[in-house]
Amino acid sequence: MNRTLSLIIASLSMSVASWAGNPAVTFLLRNGQKVSFAFEQKPVVAVGATEMSISLAGVPKVSYAYADVLRVYLSDEDLTAVKPVISDKSQAKAVFSWIGGTLSVSGLSAAEQVSVYALDGKLVWSAKAQADGTLQLPLSTLRQGNYIVRTQGGISYKLFNK
């Protein structure tokens, strides 16, 4: 246990010092899951007696018990193929609602593109808003899981399809 803790601490301290871009933390959990987090600013990684936690500006964001973590990776690389949209968000007023397997979006510009991505970055659906700035996306055929909905104007919405 002490050797594992020492390796984690050494790896974290070396990696934290080398972050140059948008930092990312990936946890490889013992149950086989791979959980990744990307941050706009450098997070603080704290190592406690039984767990490790990550916080931003003093606010805890995530923590895992050592018993649950197999490996921790720190990087400044993008973890997803969903790239940020650069735009003027001051005019963004889109409203998303999910009812009966249909995603409704209002407040868009006429013909504004809306894309739905799987968490691995693959585009699964794309459509353009109507002249009145609304859009109906029937997504009931999507597999269960998490998706990211992104407008051309730069607004993102995380969708949990159950």
Q: Quote the CA–CA distance of 44 and 55 in Å, as a whole number.
A: 5
Give me the pLDDT at residue 3, please: 57
Residue pair 47/8 in contact (Cβ under 8 Å)? The answer is yes
Q: Which residue shows structure tokens 């997803």? A: 80
Q: The pTM is what? A: 0.46
Tokens of 154: 């730069």
Mean pLDDT, each 10-residue run in order, the chain (162 residues): 54 46 73 75 78 79 82 65 50 75 87 88 90 89 86 81 73
User: In the chain, what are the domain boundaries?
Assistant: 2-75, 89-161
Q: Quote the CA–CA distance of 68 and 51 in Å, as a whole number.
A: 9
Query: What CATH class has 89-161?
Result: mainly beta
Query: What CATH class has 2-75?
Result: mainly beta
- Please report, as a single letter, which amino acid is at residue 93: K
What number of helices (H) and strands (E) belong to the chain? Answer: 1, 13
Q: How far is CA 24 from CA 36, 38, 109, 111, in A?
A: 7, 4, 33, 34
- SS3 for 73-112 is EEECCCCCCCCCCCCCHHHCCCEEEEECCEEEEECCCCCC
